[in-house]
Structure 1
Amino acid sequence: MAETPGGTDSPGDLINRFEGVLRELIRAVLGQDWHEGAGIDLEKLREKQEYERGRRRGVVISEDLLAFTEHLQLAKIIDKHWVRFAKILGDKKRWTVYSDRISAIRNAPMHGRQLLYFEQQLLAGMTGEIGNIVAQYRSSQGPDAAWYPVIESVTDSFGNDVTKDRRPPTRLSVGDTVRFTCVGRDPQDRALTWTLELKRKANRKVDEAIGSQVELTWVVDNQDVSERTEANITMTSGGNFHRNGFYDSTMFIAYAVSPPTGLS
């Protein structure tokens, strides 16, 4: 079977990643004032947020309105503040071509239509290039980022953002399955190894995967019962040197795990 351009990522995955990279860049450059001067209708974003909250019961919905923006809105923000983005994204004409191309390509997979092979190649290439540009920008903000990878995001299957929600309201039960979607980027383009360990009386390794975007799975067991069970996710590059000696970055999230019914 032929491999999809961009590895195993679907066109929808690539579009989501492209938009995620733009949101990350906008946050880094504009901070909390990202919506000012760009004519973004915050009330519509709040309506979208509430719609998601009602439709996706049992899932933690982001409180960050930027998370509910789409490509046209993200492009509008960048265009309105181009002076601040020019040194990062470079040539304005090239950015405009990329942005317009993404807008045209985006409609097909988002409405269930299949992209042609050359369109998939274009999408994968543009997503990778913009992602690398943003990674290089972050590298310029701190000397260590030029050598070591960074965790871009870790989200659990309930929608909790591990980078923000270190103690989410989600209570687990024995037998539950928790999946963590992990995204990282390495300025040296090395393989990234992700490890999921549970911290209780002794560390217990439960899953491992390799890639820039992976999924780690934890099936909650009796030995995980506690009012504070930490799921620790560690990322390590394939290089000889690491930011923290033996690994590059780590994040944790602590859950309360209830005992099985009828047991104490």
Structure 2
Amino acid sequence: MALEPSESVAVFESALRSAIREVLPEWKTKLQSEAVEKLEEKQTTDEKKRDGAVASTDLLDYTETTQLTRLVESNWEKFKPVFQDLARLKVMFALVNDYRNPAQHNRVILPFERDLLSGGAQQVQNQVAIFRGTSGSETRYYPRIESATDQLGRSSVTPADIYSHPERPRLDVGDWVEVRASAVAARGFDLEWWIFSGGLMEGLATKTRLDRDPDATGSEVVLRYQMTAADVGEQRTVHVRMASTSKFHRSDWYDGHAFFHFAVNPPEDE
């Protein structure tokens, strides 16, 4: 099924960022200092403009298609195991770069252009997924959450910080938490997602698969959870779990876990 043009651009850029994180973690050193400074300026501007939201702190999220493709081309030896044929890849890069602006600005794109853009984006995504499946790393066997962001723009708390006590946004009973998440599958298995609330340790202690159908399926999902009276407290954590449909998993019954800390107010009409 062909993706919509804006979806194609998002898939393409996400796949390239995943490849860069995988094989070129030192990517900032490959850019001129002026380019890094511009990315930092973008991050600062984004942070100032987004009242009521938290801007990403990962500078790679502020790179655009042309920067991403240049990083791959100029560091080809690193990326050759991922994409294999530079000449063919350049054709794909040129295609996506040509159509990116019309797609992002909702200008008319003809059906054959949409199909070409969709095919190019999905090919690059598949190449990254296949590389991960043959690279010998754990991503060969288990899927990995690439990103998880709540409605405030906050990224998931990192595993190293899950026991910390960062500022906790305050919610009321009845408020919704929305998490947008993406993951890369492994070994051809589909992905299933759950969202639930509890104390941090309570959530970590959930060692068996939840006794309900998944809340979402696929590699790009939106998950929603509504706070209830049972969530009232100063230390409430919304948990996201991702699991492949394989019977084998990275940990217990799941392959990825994201965390978002909140405080939930008692009802005023108690």
Q: 2:246 & 2:221 partners in 1: Cα distance?
A: 19
Identify the residue that residue 193 of structure 2 maps to in structure 1. Answer: 194
2:29 to 36, 51, 55: 36
The within-5 A match list for 1:198-237 is 198-200=197-199, 208-237=215-244
SS at the partner of 1:188?
A: coil
Identify the residue that residue 64 of structure 1 maps to in structure 2. Answer: 58
| Kept in 1: contact 2:244–2:255 (CA 8 A) | yes
TM-score (norm 1): 0.85
The within-5 A match list for 1:99-248 is 99-142=93-136, 144-162=138-156, 164=158, 166=162, 169-174=167-172, 175-200=174-199, 208-248=215-255
- Percent identity (aligned): 32
| Kept in 2: contact 1:206–1:218 (CA 8 A) | no
Q: 1:150 & 1:220 partners in 2: Cα distance?
A: 27
Cα shift at 1:171 = 0.9
Any gaps of 5 or more consecutive residues in structure 2? Answer: 204-209
Q: 1:142 to 1:87 in 2, by over 3 A?
A: closer
SS at the partner of 1:36?
A: helix
Cα shift at 1:254 = 2.3
Any gaps of 5 or more consecutive residues in structure 1? Answer: none
Q: 1:91 & 1:202 partners in 2: Cα distance?
A: 48
What amino acid is the match of 1:169? E
Identify the residue that residue 207 of structure 2 maps to in structure 1. Answer: none
Identify the residue that residue 93 of structure 1 maps to in structure 2. Answer: 87
Cα shift at 1:47 = 2.0
* Higher alpha-carbon deviation: 242-251 or 50-59: 242-251
Cα shift at 1:38 = 3.4
Q: 1:220 to 1:168 in 2, by over 3 A?
A: farther
What amino acid is the match of 2:256? S
* Higher alpha-carbon deviation: 249-258 or 81-90: 249-258
* Higher alpha-carbon deviation: 43-52 or 166-175: 166-175
Structure ranking higher on relative contact order (CA contacts 8 Å, 6+ apart): 2
What amino acid is the match of 1:249? G
Cα shift at 1:245 = 4.4
